[in-house]
Amino acid sequence: MTQEWAGGRTIRVLDPATVNQIAAGEVVERPVSVVKELVENAIDAGARTIRIDITSVQGGIVAIRVTDDGCGMSPVDAELVFTPHATSKLTAIDDLFKIHTLGFRGEALASIAAVAKVTLVTKPRGSTTVAGTRLVVIGGVQKEKGETGVPEGTSVLVEELFFNTPARKKFQKNLNTELARIHGILEGIFLANPQVSFRFYHNNREQLVTDRTTQPLDSIARIFGNECARELIPVSSDLPFMRISGFISRPALSRKDHDRILIAINDRYVSTAAVTAAVKEGYGTLLPRDRFPVAFLSLAIDTRLVDVNVHPTKKQVRLSKEKEIVEAVREAVHSALSKNDLIPEVVVPRQQNRELESAGIASARTSSGVAEPAVPYGAGARGLPASATPDPGAAIAPALTEPTHTGTVLTDHRLRQTELASGVPPVTAAVPSMEVIGQVGGIYILAAAADGELIIIDQHAAHERIFYEQVSRSMTARHAQELLVPAIIHRPLKDAAILRELIPVLAEEGVVIEEFGSGSFLVRAVPAVMGTCEGPEMIDDLVSDLMSSDPTRPVSDRERITRIISCRSAIKAGTVCTREQCQRIVNQLRATQSPFTCPHGRPTMVRFSRAKLDEMFKRT
């Protein structure tokens, strides 16, 4: 920082302590980085059991200790670990391309020691002496060295983190945020390393524990609970350059964020936006756009295609063939989903069971912990005709109502539209055949499947799915059909600009619109699949939907239009249907490729298995 110039020197080589502190900033950003590095070292040391202890006071984390039963270190090696770039894992740059250890840069311990007080206790495996080595390093300077009686393995205690870098210390978020980050990273590391038994304690209270196992699902159940594990289906795919294995959730289990999409590449838990996005894309319309699945995927990729040396924290990786890898993941997820029965099962939580018992009633609802209803029925409700809006007085309205004549005719017409021959491949998904019992509240279809199962189907969601597949798959369904009388719609000027741009896209979908000037548009034709019975209000609604739908959503205009047309044309919630009509909906739904959700990702059906019914009636 000196300003001298005249003949003096302004450039100087930094002393090693300063260099280390600067480098430390990259590796050790916050407490969680310390935890990650120490645990990864323990894994690299071949530990079978690793214990993590976090100690905190109100102000924050005061100590991090990681203890392992791994290979340990000789006294000579122990002293070396605090020297920058001292590593036992890499000797030449070529080794980088065949890295099988989590560490290799030899930076972590030196960096941590540069900004904290580190106490290292270690004894090599198979050592014949009782004593091991004990070293204390503060701010990069060795303060103590001695012997102490220890078991084989290594224990690293980190205290006074960032004591000499106040800015970094102040920058720490509050304690809970830091603990949450530690939790998050440990979840990922634990899952990626089922061969290790982990014990994580905070202030001596057990937080997260896994046992050595060859069954990854066991670890998932330990960490995320049985309810989560139950909703998972296996994924596996073998390609010349990569093997994909792991588990993903049925659509019934989804979350608001993608925090539970955990990806390990070559047993290293990494964060990779591209692969995470591919997992979500594999769900297609099985999930609403703002919901994310739970997924635990392990990718074994040819090490030559993976560069982990992107950042000192090694949390990011650079993938050659990224496009192929991403596409393979999407495809593996997609195919796993299409192979499985995805009808969510109704779960009565035990706790609630007891409450119900004491109240003397039996009722069921999906356990909120498992299947959060993805999206409230907002979109469906918009389509409700005024007469069908549930009014409080009608809460106990008769469940089975007689359909009106005009209603039946209209429904028949709509069902005929979706029975268009379309050269669709036969039923692929695993929906059981079922017999309709009747309709409830003009919304739900009750049906019985072979083995005493009760299946409840949302008629609007189901028909929306049917429509959607018709429209997306069949060109004829999208053919424009001219209206007998062209309809005129008026839009505010701000909409007009957007609509103008959409005219060509709409035309491809069979909606033929011409601009008339000053916010007026003439609708000449609608897709054949919508039929001619729709009035101009319906088209106006369609345009409103188009205007109001979120332009940032990551689907194409065409996809948006298809979804809106399907939603608008499908039989509304609140439309009373005959049993025969209900049966037709069910049959048509079974012939779709993705029968389990509507195009917005909401479920089309839920099931009460026979076993579940028996359990609820205490027949077990």
| Residue 104 in the binding site for ligand ADP (CB under 6 A) | yes
Distances, alpha carbon 206 to alpha carbons 192, 209, 219, 314, 612, in Å: 20, 8, 16, 28, 34
DSSP 284-301: GGGS-TT-EE-EEEEEEE
Give the Cα separation of 191 and 178 in Å (integer): 20
- Any long-range contacts for 398-406 (C-beta under 8 Å, 24+ apart)? 399/438, 399/440, 399/441, 400/438, 400/439, 400/440, 401/442, 401/576, 402/576, 403/576, 403/577, 403/578, 403/581, 404/576
Q: What dihedral angle (degrees, nearest 10) is formed by the CA atoms of 345, 351, 356, 360?
A: 130
Question: Which listed residue (154, 470, 472, 588) binds ligand ADP by CB under 6 A?
Answer: 154
Angle separating helix axes 493-508 and 536-548, nearest 10 degrees: 100
Nearer to ligand ADP, 67 or 439 (CB): 67
Which string of b and e fits 297-333 if b means at least 16 CB within 10 Å? bbbebeeebbebbeebbbbebebeeeeebbebbbbbb
Nearer to ligand ADP, 154 or 588 (CB): 154
| Residue 106 in the binding site for ligand ADP (CB under 6 A) | yes
Count the residues of the shown chain that bind ligand ADP, applying the rule CB under 6 A.
23
Nearer to ligand ADP, 81 or 454 (CB): 81
Q: How many CA atoms lie within 13 A of 440 on its CB side?
A: 12
Q: 416 burial class (0-12, 13-18, 19+ CB within 10 angstroms)?
A: exposed
* Minimum separation from the CB atom of position 154 to ligand ADP (A): 4
* Minimum separation from the CB atom of position 109 to ligand ADP (A): 4
Q: Are 107 and 27 in contact (CB under 8 A)?
A: yes
Question: Which listed residue (108, 150, 232, 337) binds Mg ion by CB under 5 A?
Answer: 108
Give the Cα separation of 36 and 56 in Å (integer): 17
Question: Which listed residue (20, 21, 33, 87) binds ligand ADP by CB under 6 A?
Answer: 87
| Residue 133 in the binding site for Mg ion (CB under 5 A) | no
* Minimum separation from the CB atom of position 121 to ligand ADP (A): 10
Binding string, residues 26-45; x marks residues near Mg ion by CB under 5 A: ---------------x----
Question: Which listed residue (24, 81, 99, 546) binds ligand ADP by CB under 6 A?
Answer: 81
Range in contact with ligand ADP (rule: CB under 6 A) among 79-87, 188-196, 475-483, 571-579: 79-87
| Residue 454 in the binding site for Mg ion (CB under 5 A) | no
| Residue 86 in the binding site for ligand ADP (CB under 6 A) | yes
Q: Which does 73 bind (CB under 5 to 8 A by kind): ligand ADP, Mg ion, none?
A: ligand ADP
Binding string, residues 26-45; x marks residues near ligand ADP by CB under 6 A: -----------x---xx--x
Q: Which does 591 bind (CB under 5 to 8 A by kind): Mg ion, ligand ADP, none?
A: none
Q: Which does 81 bind (CB under 5 to 8 A by kind): ligand ADP, Mg ion, none?
A: ligand ADP
Closest residue to ligand ADP: CB criterion: 103
Range in contact with ligand ADP (rule: CB under 6 A) among 97-105, 127-135, 527-535, 579-587: 97-105
* Minimum separation from the CB atom of position 276 to Mg ion (A): 25
Nearer to ligand ADP, 71 or 434 (CB): 71
Range in contact with ligand ADP (rule: CB under 6 A) among 83-91, 157-165, 198-206, 457-465: 83-91
Distances, alpha carbon 129 to alpha carbons 145, 333, 407, in Å: 17, 53, 89
Q: Which of 152, 185, 167, 190 is nearest to 45 (CA)?
A: 152
* Minimum separation from the CB atom of position 32 to ligand ADP (A): 15
| Residue 103 in the binding site for Mg ion (CB under 5 A) | yes
| Residue 330 in the binding site for ligand ADP (CB under 6 A) | no
| Residue 258 in the binding site for ligand ADP (CB under 6 A) | no
Q: Are 23 and 111 in contact (CB under 8 A)?
A: yes
| Residue 312 in the binding site for ligand ADP (CB under 6 A) | no
Nearer to Mg ion, 103 or 188 (CB): 103
Q: Which tokens sit at 146?
A: 């001695």
Range in contact with ligand ADP (rule: CB under 6 A) among 84-92, 242-250, 390-398, 405-413: 84-92
Q: Which does 104 bind (CB under 5 to 8 A by kind): ligand ADP, Mg ion, none?
A: ligand ADP
Give the Cα separation of 297 and 272 in Å (integer): 12
* Minimum separation from the CB atom of position 104 to Mg ion (A): 8
Q: Which does 453 bind (CB under 5 to 8 A by kind): ligand ADP, Mg ion, none?
A: none
Collapsing DSSP states into helix, strand and coil, what is residue 562? helix
What letter does residue 93 receive in the DSSP assignment?
G
Q: Which residues bind Mg ion (CB under 5 A)?
A: 41, 103, 108
Q: Which residues bind ligand ADP (CB under 6 A)?
A: 37, 41-42, 45, 68, 70-73, 81, 86-89, 103-110, 154
